[in-house]
Amino acid sequence: MYEYIGSLHIHSRFSDGSASIPEIAYEAEKAGMDFICITDHQTLEGKEQGLDGWYGKTLVIIGAELNRKRNHYLAFNLKELVEDTSDNPQQTISQVKNQGGIGFLAHPCEKGSPLIMQGQSFPWTDWQVEGFDGIELWNFCSQWREQACSRLKLFYWYFFNRSAPLSSGAPEELLQKWDEWTQKRRISAIGGTDAHAFPLQYGPLRGIFLPYPYLFRTINTHILLSQKMQAESALAQAQVLKALQKGSAFIANNAVSPAQGFVFSAFNRNREVGMGEEINHDSALSLKISSPNPRSRIRIIKNGKLVYTTNKSSLIFKVLKPGVFRVEVYYRPRVGRPRPWIYSNPIYVR
């Protein structure tokens, strides 16, 4: 398998981001991103101007973040822009699907902070919707805002411990919802930064709030492809989007520790499958899990329940009965509590 690292959910100047797509791509390449996904609010202007494609070693894919007031939906493969139907998210999902697009519920459990953006938040409101491909399980800026409950904390974090707000991990409520859904059908998960890099001005001080280069080194989505990424941009984009749709991917906060090389697969005597795939149960069926850092705590979750925890960095786990399996890896620092680090997509054992 070939592993590629991407940064997803990025805003450019075509909406409320602060840099152009070529500028963002330049920073992404410097940060070692194999691909990035630009999702400006309610516009496909970047794509219409032909700004997607390769920028050096980095592939730029342009989708859109649909709906403004609530029910934000990250959509890709769109032939044309879908109208804002903030109050009817099923319509948004269906319109994307009808034109062959794929989509993810963006920061579905967003809570906001009274200190930032006048307390505004943009959660998902209708949990009965159908037909979406996946969810954005972990969103850097959403979580950052949500944890900011005092100005002092905000200031301290920003200057001294920027990734502290991420130590609570993906929202518990959303993990539960996802586990419920995946027992009924396959739903993939991605991670995003929601990068805007807002310019800041505080008295004489000027700066950029959570700049792009910083965010590229935080929550990433790592995809696994059976073939190398193609040189032709359209083919490479299709490969990446297919992996995201299928869930051949895991989410990692690379600010905690580099997550390249994480392995989660299921195998029996005849075959081995990866994340996002299905395999039939038999007496030999086992899971293979391996973390790239020895300071790991691996947690195996089956049908939404924690079934096994170990401080080893790799293991073979025998599967006794079918179910939907996923893995979380926490990083164990020398001092302090283990930190949420990696979330796998599920393997479906039938």
Residues that bind Zn ion (CB under 5 A): 65, 72, 106, 122, 194
- Tell the smallest beta-carbon distance from residue 346 to Zn ion (Å): 25
- Tell the smallest beta-carbon distance from residue 29 to Zn ion (Å): 22
- Alpha-carbon torsion (81, 106, 207, 53), positive or negative: negative
- Tell the smallest beta-carbon distance from residue 233 to Zn ion (Å): 24
| Residues 6+ positions from 56 with CB-CB distance below 8 Å | 25, 29
Residue nearest Zn ion, CB atom distance: 72
In the complex with Zn ion, which residue's Cβ is closer, 142 or 182?
A: 142
In the complex with Zn ion, which residue's Cβ is closer, 65 or 277?
A: 65
Distance in angstroms (rounded) separating the CA atoms of residues 63 and 318:
40
Distance in angstroms (rounded) separating the CA atoms of residues 4 and 61:
14
- Tell the smallest beta-carbon distance from residue 243 to Zn ion (Å): 21
In the complex with Zn ion, which residue's Cβ is closer, 27 or 194?
A: 194
In the complex with Zn ion, which residue's Cβ is closer, 37 or 51?
A: 37
In the complex with Zn ion, which residue's Cβ is closer, 12 or 254?
A: 12
- Residue 324, SS3? strand
Closest Cα partner for 60 from 291, 260, 229, 276? Answer: 229
Look up residue 242 and give its two tokens: 């297919």
Distance in angstroms (rounded) separating the CA atoms of residues 324 and 345:
10
| Residues 6+ positions from 174 with CB-CB distance below 8 Å | 108, 109, 135, 137
At residue 105's C-alpha, the angle toward residues 253 and 10, to 5°, is 55
- Residue 237, SS3? helix
In the complex with Zn ion, which residue's Cβ is closer, 117 or 234?
A: 117
- Tell the smallest beta-carbon distance from residue 194 to Zn ion (Å): 4
Distance in angstroms (rounded) separating the CA atoms of residues 43 and 34:
24
- Tell the smallest beta-carbon distance from residue 241 to Zn ion (Å): 18
- Tell the smallest beta-carbon distance from residue 193 to Zn ion (Å): 9
| Residues 6+ positions from 269 with CB-CB distance below 8 Å | 282, 284
In the complex with Zn ion, which residue's Cβ is closer, 16 or 278?
A: 16
Tally Cβ neighbours within 10 Å of residue 165: 20
**32-to-27, 210, 233, 297 alpha-carbon distances in Å:** 9, 18, 18, 26
